[in-house]
Structure 1
């Protein structure tokens, strides 16, 4: 089973830090570490705790968060009220995987975290990655709103099959039978929909043999 991603929040506003802590904790697959309130504390925490992802503010009491970002050898996103183009450009130039302008709701950060998880999963595949795979992984960091992205007839049929199942999860073979396509075709569409965030996947462990993937439509 994949281990949860550990997230360090760097923000000197205690209430904001605890709010973002709660957002992270509520996202499946993520664990929030105890927040820190300054640049020096962030560097020490990263060195000792080795988080997978750092969520850092620009305005810190001892450092500018963007200068801290330059010294981090870890994935990071900027969460800040700084909305000037220079800060955004500098954050991206210094390696930020995302930039969220405060204030924002839980669903916004959750979407970013889920995209990050898909990005990491795609890059963790065994062996080398081709250009198409790399582009697919990078797209997860900036997912397109599914409402703005038209779906093919087959994609709609696959999603419809999962929606009809309700709380019951379906395998690729069950979706294929319901839609009237081959299992390989169903598997291909399901994998793409998982990467787009429209479908969730989990493993079912039987009494013998390999674990089986099960799919459900994301609410």
Structure 2
């Protein structure tokens, strides 16, 4: 199967770079361009004609939902995945009507993101080169990508989803400086050991990275940084 070419349309350069890194961590994907605004997105669509667009909703010069419909009208072989902070029901409804393969609300979790891209890849591999399909095959393809929207993350035993979400939200407030397990434990209200268990789980999913830093007395400590906002 050929490499899937991806265009990222995101006005926050830091988030765009995170999206690029997440995408290229998945074998079979390549980011061919990054557009930082609505108009640049339209220009790069015409030039690159990508297989998949990772699209935000909010732009200073336009609305991503309008760009989604522009893609549907002019680039029918290009698919769209929404990655946005927009939680309005109307935006979600329009994205579904416009045929978006997924709608992920920031901050994104790498495992959730990877799940959709792998399903999309599987869908493309099964339909390419086919001239006709029976009903069973159509059913499998039609729901292959959308199933990831309602799928519950396979969180291991000992990891409470609510506590995990709370820790992730705290980390997004400290993008630059990061936090230690002790810091997070005090903020969230759990022990240092518990905080570290959750943080190491997030490291394993690719949502968080950990670096060693040295405190005032020179003792190294593990500091955690979120990879999304």
Instruction: Tell me if TM exceeds 0.5.
Output: yes
| TM-score, normalised relative to structure 2 | 0.61
Q: 1:12 maps to which residue?
A: 11
Q: 2:86 maps to which residue?
A: 82
Q: 2:101 maps to which residue?
A: 97
> More displaced, 111-120 or 131-140?
131-140
Note if contact 1:76-1:97 (Cα within 8 Å) is conserved in structure 2.
Answer: yes
Note if contact 1:70-1:95 (Cα within 8 Å) is conserved in structure 2.
Answer: no
Q: 1:51 maps to which residue?
A: 50
- In structure 1, C-alpha distance between the alignment counterparts of 2:101 and 2:47, rounded to whole Å: 22
Q: 1:117 maps to which residue?
A: 121
Residue 8 of structure 2 aligns to a residue whose secondary structure is strand
Note if contact 1:9-1:35 (Cα within 8 Å) is conserved in structure 2.
Answer: yes
RMSD: 1.8
- In structure 1, C-alpha distance between the alignment counterparts of 2:110 and 2:118, rounded to whole Å: 12
Note if contact 1:5-1:30 (Cα within 8 Å) is conserved in structure 2.
Answer: yes
Shift of 1:97: 1.4
- In structure 2, C-alpha distance between the alignment counterparts of 1:50 and 1:67, rounded to whole Å: 17
Shift of 1:125: 4.3
Structure 1 runs not aligned, ≥5 long: 148-219
| TM-score, normalised relative to structure 1 | 0.63
Q: 1:135 maps to which residue?
A: 139
Note if contact 2:9-2:54 (Cα within 8 Å) is conserved in structure 1.
Answer: yes
- In structure 2, C-alpha distance between the alignment counterparts of 1:103 and 1:120, rounded to whole Å: 27
Note if contact 1:58-1:64 (Cα within 8 Å) is conserved in structure 2.
Answer: yes
- In structure 1, C-alpha distance between the alignment counterparts of 2:44 and 2:108, rounded to whole Å: 25
- In structure 1, C-alpha distance between the alignment counterparts of 2:4 and 2:122, rounded to whole Å: 12
> Comparing both structures, which one devotes a greater share of its residues to strand?
2
- In structure 2, C-alpha distance between the alignment counterparts of 1:83 and 1:135, rounded to whole Å: 29
- In structure 1, C-alpha distance between the alignment counterparts of 2:70 and 2:136, rounded to whole Å: 30
Equivalences for 1:1-219 in 2 at 5 Å? 2-72=1-71, 73=75, 74-141=78-145, 142-143=147-148, 144=151
Shift of 1:27: 0.5
Note if contact 2:33-2:44 (Cα within 8 Å) is conserved in structure 1.
Answer: no
Note if contact 1:58-1:80 (Cα within 8 Å) is conserved in structure 2.
Answer: yes
Structure 2 runs not aligned, ≥5 long: 155-229
Shift of 1:59: 0.3
